[in-house]
Amino acid sequence: MMARTQNVRLSAALLLGVAVAACNPTPPTPGLALGKELFETCAPCHGDMGTGDVEIDAPAIAGLPQWYIEAQLRGFQAGMRGMHANDLPALRMRPMAMTLNRDGDIPSVAEYVAGLPATFPESTLHGNAGAGAERYAAVCVACHGPDGRGNELLWAPPIVQLNDWYLVQELQNFREGARGADPADIWGQQMRINTFALDDQAMADVIAYVQTLR
């Protein structure tokens, strides 16, 4: 009797095992190796070393902190970024985030990107860094820090290593509501309110100042 019950349990367990294996043929082991493999799908836009490509509005993501990369990939997946009809760059990025759909995909690729050496792409805009400095000290410093390296406790990313054109574009996205407008996007909303008082010139000025913090 005992043996029979065990047999039944065993076959049930085996069947379950087969069913699980059929849905998920090769459960990947999370980590750097998986991250490197996944990054091959990112490289066509962000570059082999994550240094970005201005032609397709893809920013330099190399060396951003893992927590921030993970949060943004989840934000794209949840539709907090990449849903606004006018936001073509984010519309390009969102389907890529959607492909990271297995457990461990996001942390693995984020760990890999975080480990790539940060580059500090050259300035392309001509803002007035002096005017920007005042605004930065009055507003931005509270979250992004005096050195622009961010503050994980406030979910504020480092902004010194990103392309100036990308940073201005994101400030505009926040202001226009393409980013940070979703009620579920707690951190994006915190950032968004800081852009309402900025016109395009003020944005270029404050980012020109950020570039001097490197």
Judged by the rule CB under 6 A, the positions of this chain that interact with ligand HEC are 38, 41-42, 44-46, 56-59, 61, 64, 69, 71-73, 81, 89-90, 92-93, 96, 100, 109, 113, 135, 139-140, 142-144, 154-157, 159, 162, 167, 169-171, 179-180, 187-188, 190-191, 194, 206
Half-sphere exposure of 39 (CA within 13 A, CB side): 26
Question: Least distance in Å: CB of 27 to ligand HEC?
Answer: 19
Question: Least distance in Å: CB of 11 to ligand HEC?
Answer: 40
Question: Least distance in Å: CB of 57 to ligand HEC?
Answer: 4
* Residue type at 40 in one-letter notation: E
Q: What are the CB-based long-range contacts (under 8 Å, 24+) for 144-149?
A: 146/213, 147/213, 148/210, 148/213, 148/214
Of 4 and 92, the one with the shorter C-beta distance to ligand HEC is 92
Question: Least distance in Å: CB of 68 to ligand HEC?
Answer: 7
Give the number of other Cβ atoms within 10 Å of residue 156's Cβ. Answer: 20
Give the number of other Cβ atoms within 10 Å of residue 76's Cβ. Answer: 20
User: For residue 36, what are the contacts with CB-CB under 8 A and spacing of at least 6?
Assistant: 112
Vertex 78, ends 73 and 81: CA angle to 5°? 65
